[in-house]
């Protein structure tokens, strides 16, 4: 990533809530709550955090797939399209359809949610082409798909297979190929290595990095596995209870984590030769429909202050490209206050 990166996506004060009604009472789940950050051109940004913290909802909003009960309560998402920043939340469905899979694409969690179990892989590719490239001829289709699969190290024989005939890792590779065949500028990957063994995970991560390096595009990877981010991400953003509470360069986050929650996540990683007992984050996250006043991590924090129960900390830059939302850290300081 360049020293002065150019933003390809700008998220400003985004509020994406789930609203449901039960017995005449509205329930509001604040899955993404007043989130602001930037995604840079030609980078891999990792989004980490426990299940239920809002990671997948954030990806949905970045893709523009806002369907009830999910609603946007505020904020904007600017994409740089032809050197102009445009708010995709103001797009009509036709405009969104034009940018999906050409400017931004999505690798969902679980390959079987993409692949039709009763259709061969080549038919899935054909359906995909007809939806997004209806002008393509059969010969062009055959050449494009076979050449692209070959470039990704996938045998063309998979095209004549049904999804259940492929391994989990091979299905995920096919899903990645589907999502990147039109060479989008931004690829959103939701838990791309879930339910795969560590050897297959490594291959999937290598494939994603290969595509990103060759295409010089931007990859956003959501994963609860901090080990995944250590291997692939240029920057890491930590989400907790609907907020981004820390974001920075990967090396800086892992060597100098500033938020207590980030420290817990990193300390839980196994280390070669270290036989010390590992513990998870104590307690459980708050309900997103009944959030506490003040800091959302207060009931789990080992270093809580009085102010933490009264005010919610803002995400502020404490040093170059490293931001944190925590009253234990002052702006311009790298270490905890005494």
Q: What is the pLDDT of residue 336?
A: 44
Q: What is the pLDDT of residues 306-338, one digit of tens each?
A: 999 999 999 999 988 899 999 998 644 444 443
Q: What is residue 270's predicted lDDT score, i.e. its pLDDT?
A: 65
Compute the distance between CA of residue 159 and CA of residue 23 in angstroms, rounded to an integer.
Answer: 50
Tens digit of each residue's pLDDT (9 = 90 or more) over 202-217: 999 999 999 999 999 9
Would you state the pLDDT for residue 280?
73
What SS3 string covers 108-147? CCCHHHCCCCCCCHHHHHHHHHHHHCCCCCHHHHHHHHHH
Least confident of 13-22, 66-75, 262-271: 262-271
Give the mean pLDDT of 141-166. 93
Sheet holding 243-249, edge to edge: 104-107, 186-190, 218-222, 44-48, 235-240, 243-249, 322-324, 316-319
**Tokens standing for residue 23:** 């017995």
**Which pLDDT band holds residue 138 (cuts at 50, 70, 90)?**
confident
Confidence of residue 272 (pLDDT cuts 50, 70, 90): low
Checking if the pLDDT of 126 tops 80, the result is yes
Dihedrals phi, psi of 267, to nearest 5 degrees: -70, -20
pLDDT at 247: 98
Return the percent helix, strand and coil in the chain, to nearest 5. 35, 25, 40
Q: Which of 145-154, 188-197, 242-251, 273-282 has the highest mean pLDDT?
A: 242-251
CA angle at 245 for the pair 288 and 74, rounded to the nearest 5°? 55
Residue 326 and residue 258 in contact, taking contact as beta carbons nearer than 8 Å: yes
pLDDT in tens, 29-44: 999 999 999 999 999 9
Query: Which pLDDT score, from 0 to 100, does residue 143 have?
Result: 92
Higher pLDDT, 26 or 255: 255
pLDDT digits (tens, 9 = 90+) for 79-125: 999 999 999 999 999 999 999 989 999 998 876 667 889 999 999 99
């Amino acid at each position: 990533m360049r020293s002065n990166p150019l933003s390809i996506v700008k998220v400003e004060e985004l509020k994406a809530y789930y609203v449901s009604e039960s017995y005449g009472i509205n329930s509001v789940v604040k899955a993404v709550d007043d989130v602001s950050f930037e995604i840079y051109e030609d980078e891999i940004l990792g989004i980490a955090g426990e299940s239920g913290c809002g990671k997948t909802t954030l990806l949905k909003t970045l893709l523009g797939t806002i369907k009830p009960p999910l609603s946007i309560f505020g904020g904007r998402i600017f994409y740089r399209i032809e050197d102009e920043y445009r708010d995709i939340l103001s797009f009509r469905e036709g405009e969104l359809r034009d940018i999906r899979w050409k400017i931004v694409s999505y690798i969902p969690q679980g390959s079987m949610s993409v692949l039709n179990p009763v259709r061969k892989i080549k038919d899935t590719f054909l359906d995909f082409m007809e939806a997004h490239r209806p002008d393509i001829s059969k010969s062009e289709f055959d050449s494009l798909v076979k050449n692209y699969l070959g470039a990704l190290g996938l045998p063309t024989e998979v095209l004549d297979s049904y999804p259940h005939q492929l391994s989990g890792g091979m299905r995920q590779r096919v899903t990645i190929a589907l999502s990147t065949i039109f060479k989008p500028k931004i690829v959103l990957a939701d838990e791309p290595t879930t339910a795969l063994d560590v050897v297959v995970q490594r291959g999937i991560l290598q494939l994603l990095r290969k595509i990103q390096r060759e295409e010089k595009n931007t990859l956003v990877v959501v994963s609860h596995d901090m080990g995944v981010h250590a291997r692939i991400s240029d920057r890491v953003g930590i989400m907790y209870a609907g907020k981004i509470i820390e974001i920075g360069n990967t090396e800086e986050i892992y060597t100098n984590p500033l938020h207590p929650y980030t420290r817990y996540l990193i300390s839980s990683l196994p280390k070669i030769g270290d036989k010390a007992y590992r513990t998870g984050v104590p307690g459980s996250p708050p309900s997103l429909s009944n959030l506490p006043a003040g800091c959302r991590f207060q009931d789990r924090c080992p270093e809580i202050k009085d102010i933490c129960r009264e005010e919610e900390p803002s995400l502020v830059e404490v040093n170059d490209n490293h931001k944190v939302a925590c009253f234990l850290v002052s702006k311009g300081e790298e270490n905890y206050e005494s």
